[in-house]
Amino acid sequence: MLNQYLYIISGVCWTAVYILIIRRNMIERSFGMPVIALLLNISWEFTYSIMFPFEGYKLYLNCLWLACDVVILTQFIMYGGIQRYFSFAGTMRFAGFIIVLIAALSFVWVMHAEFNDHRGKLTAYIINLIMSSAFLLRALRSNYDGQSIYIGVLKMIGTGVPSILFYLKNPDSNVLNALYISVFVIDGLYISVLRKKLHEAGLSWSIRV
Q: How confident is the model at residue 183 (pLDDT cuts 50, 70, 90)?
A: very high
- Does the structure show a pLDDT above 90 at 204? no
pLDDT of residue 206: 83
Residue 158 lies in domain: 2-207
Where does residue 29 fall: left (phi above 0), alpha (psi -120 to 50 degrees), or beta otherwise?
left
Cβ neighbours for 39, distance < 8 A, ≥ 6 positions apart = 100, 101, 104
Selection from 25, 23, 6, 37 nearest residue 187 by Cα: 37
User: Half-sphere exposure of residue 125, counting CA atoms within 13 Å on the CB side?
Assistant: 22
Q: How far apart are CA 55 and CA 48, in angstroms?
A: 10
Kindly tell me if the per-residue pLDDT of 145 is higher than 90: no
Distance between CA atoms of residues 110 and 157, nearest Å = 28
Helices (H) and strands (E) in the chain, counts: 8, 0
Structure confidence by residue, pLDDT tens digits, 34-75: 899 999 999 999 999 999 999 888 899 999 999 999 999 999
Q: Are 17 and 158 in contact (CB under 8 A)?
A: yes
Angle between helices 149-169 and 121-140 (to 10 degrees): 150
Q: Is the pLDDT of residue 143 over 70?
A: yes
Cβ–Cβ under 8 Å, residues 137 and 197:
no
Does the pLDDT at position 27 exceed 80? yes
Report the share of the chain in percent with pLDDT over 90: 69
Average pLDDT on 4-12 reads 88
Residue 2 has pLDDT above 80, yes or no: no
Task: Name the residue with higher pLDDT: 63 or 147.
Answer: 63
Mean model confidence pLDDT for the chain: 91
Give the pLDDT confidence score for residue 90 in this predicted structure.
67
Greater pLDDT, 84 or 159: 159
* pLDDT (tens digit per residue) in 69-122: 999 999 999 998 888 888 776 678 888 889 999 999 999 999 999 998 988 999
Q: How many domains does the chain have?
A: 1
pLDDT mean over 154-166:
94
User: pTM (2 decimals)?
Assistant: 0.93
Give the rounded percent of residues in the chain with a pLDDT score beyond 70: 98
